[in-house]
Structure 1
Amino acid sequence: MKVGEGLLDLASNAPDRDIVTLSPVATLVVNDDFNPGLVPLFLEASREVMRSGTLLDAAGTFPSAEPRTFELHKDAGHYYAKGLPILQRYLPFRIASLADRYIILLIPLIVVMIPLFKAVGPIYQWRIRARIYRWYKYLREIDRKLHAGSLPDALGSEIERLEKLEDELAAVEVPLSYSNELYELHMHVRYVIERLRELQRRRQP
């Protein structure tokens, strides 16, 4: 360590010339029971205290990972390489520490939830379309009877049932992106009604 002339005692000019001497290194040591989460906080506090330096040390010299007297704590190594953990840079220590713990717990949950979220879209589409397509079963039955000529002579009840179906469809609510499918169903119901009415007219004497 270099000690300049008069640095230690300016009044008595001690030392009386620039000298180079040996000096012990102050070392921050913790035992195995020390909370790892406090390591970066402890080092950051040391950095704040030593930010301006001293008469013998330049600003920003300490704390430092070198020279090593003991094995460097892994969290200390991370601090020297990258600084404070991201959360501790913006949040109070207690909140950041809790967040770190919960993030570790949330990772498995997120892994499970991602496939579930991917399945929500298809399930939602199926639910909406099921509300529309369930009416087609009845339309298909009437259409088959029309082709087979097996409809009863009195078609009024079938026409009335389809007209009630139109009223029910008017009360069905679906997202705008599925409105075209609902309107297509309206058109198909009206088409079948017109076919039944045409058949009814032909059957009249």
Structure 2
Amino acid sequence: MNSAALYQHRWLMIRLPLAVLALALASLVWVRLYPMPPTQLTISTGLADGAYQFYANRYVEAFSRRGIELTVLASEGSTQNLERLQSDPPQTDLALVQGGYGWSSPMSESSQQDGVQTLASVDIEALWLFSRNPPIRSLLQLSGLRIAAGPERSGHRVLLQRLLMQQRIGLDELIWSDLSGQAANEALTRGEIDAVFMVASPSSPGVLALLRNPALTLATLERTTAIAERNNYLESRLLPQDGLGANLPPSDTPMLTTPAHLLVRQDLDPALKRMATAVAMEVHGKAGAFHRAGEFPSLRSSDFPSAPEARQVLLRGLGPMESVLPFWWVQVLQRLLIICVPLLLLTVALFRMVPAWVRWRLESRITRWYGELKFIENDLINKNVDVGGMELSRINGRLREMDQAIGSLKLPKELAQRWYTLHQHVDFVRSRIRGYRGR
């Protein structure tokens, strides 16, 4: 198709294909290179009556307000939570894991950190040991006792077994029970077991139930500082009298504590990591028995590589759009700004430039004919040609061809004036040639 017809039908031949191409390119980038993140997440927690489940229920509410659906998966404990994050394909997006499973643990392996990032340390958990009278003051006293420390893969049991091995106590010297929470509380009250061990936040419903049971006593372990020195993920702290309520506990009690981490899949969409960090700030920002308000969430005691998105949110908070609008609308607006606006500007520029280039080609053709006419006129004026019949016939033939070419050219209205003017100039040169013939 020639340039004249192309320019004459520029909306159909030029601008419509450009618009379709821009739309196809925007769709390709949107779907393949910058896809929309999902609005459904899963989190692996712990036992149904544990603190992790309590936190997860609050996460569900916070995520829901932002337009994200969170599914809570109960588990046997931190070991299973970490395995779910690292499975292929992943079985969960988020997980709550107690301290001692990452860098801080001398027993951890580098493979335990693969594909996992820390969004924040969200709380301080204590190591709770309850028994009937008399109170337990050393882990050595557990030898030969019936101990409820949760399921075999739970973080409670894994941590207690580590501490027992450091005390040179064989794991087969204890009688293990899978009970935890309220079931362990009732079994200990009935005398079916001798002690309950758990790692949980002071606000955990299970911990508060055990503390309120008058038949049970909270262990006051000795040499907690020495135990913490041998385990980087533990810290010795003092639980003050009445710190959790009236007579809870009845006296100042030295406790071993460990951080709780909110972990995430490394390949999770960055926007969801930012949103999960903001939710953690909302849920865990208040004061606790072992920390002041605002100390958590943090990355000071991170057990896994920290996510850059988490550092960004913890330092500066969410962006203006993410703070105000629902999650889905933020993602749509970001893609409109990043993908559609630049493509729109480029398409508008091409809408102008391509037709202008076609018009320039048409005008340059007319300009070339004007140039040829100018050469003929100069030759005639300067008498550089033989005014005989042969030369004048050749020039007339060339003018006739030019006239036919101009006549077959369909130009837009914008160039009609130049078209008529060129015709007139050809006739003018032809009339001058007739004057030469009359000489």
Alignment TM-score, normalising by the size of structure 2: 0.29
Distance 1:43 1:25, change over 3 A: farther
Which structure 1 residue ranges, 5 or more long, are not aligned?
A: none
Q: Does 1:191 align with 2:436?
A: no
Judge conservation of contact 2:280–2:297 (CA < 8 Å) in 1: yes
The percentage of counterpart residues that share the same residue type is 12
CA distance in 2, matches of 1:188, 1:6: 103
Q: Does 1:49 align with 2:290?
A: no
- 1:157 is displaced (CA, Å) by 10
Q: Residue in 1 aligned with 2:358?
A: 127
The letter for the 2-side match of 1:9 is: G
Distance 1:127 1:3, change over 3 A: same
The letter for the 2-side match of 1:92 is: F
Counterparts in 2 of 1:52-131, with a 5 A limit?
53-54=286-287, 56=289, 57-66=291-300, 68=301, 70-75=303-308, 76-84=310-318, 92=327, 96=331, 126-131=357-362
The alignment's C-alpha RMSD in Å is 5.4
Judge conservation of contact 2:392–2:433 (CA < 8 Å) in 1: no
Q: Residue in 2 aligned with 1:151?
A: 392
Q: Residue in 2 aligned with 1:9?
A: 245
Q: Deviations over 1:51-74 (max 9, x none)?
A: 4x14544443321112x1524423
- 1:49 is displaced (CA, Å) by 1.3
SS in 1 for 2:295: coil
SS in 2 for 1:191: helix
Judge conservation of contact 2:261–2:302 (CA < 8 Å) in 1: no
CA distance in 1, matches of 2:404, 2:431: 12
Larger % of helix: which? 1
CA distance in 2, matches of 1:24, 1:94: 41
- 1:7 is displaced (CA, Å) by 4.9
SS in 2 for 1:62: coil
Distance 1:30 1:145, change over 3 A: closer
Distance 1:165 1:60, change over 3 A: same
The letter for the 2-side match of 1:151 is: L
Higher relative contact order (CA 8 A, sep 6+): 2
CA distance in 1, matches of 2:274, 2:395: 87
Q: Deviations over 1:141-173 (max 9, x none)?
A: 45544522422399699579749937957x435
Distance 1:21 1:85, change over 3 A: farther
Q: Residue in 1 aligned with 2:412?
A: 172
Distance 1:44 1:202, change over 3 A: same
Q: Deviations over 1:109-167 (max 9, x none)?
A: x9xxx9xxx99988765432211222344444455445224223996995797499379
Q: Residue in 1 aligned with 2:134?
A: none
Larger % of strand: which? 2
Judge conservation of contact 2:403–2:423 (CA < 8 Å) in 1: yes
Instruction: State how many pairs are aligned.
Output: 179
Distance 1:138 1:4, change over 3 A: same
CA distance in 2, matches of 1:36, 1:154: 77
Which structure 2 residue ranges, 5 or more long, are not aligned?
A: 1-236, 380-384
Judge conservation of contact 2:274–2:313 (CA < 8 Å) in 1: yes
Judge conservation of contact 1:2–1:21 (CA < 8 Å) in 2: yes
SS in 2 for 1:26: strand
Alignment TM-score, normalising by the size of structure 1: 0.51
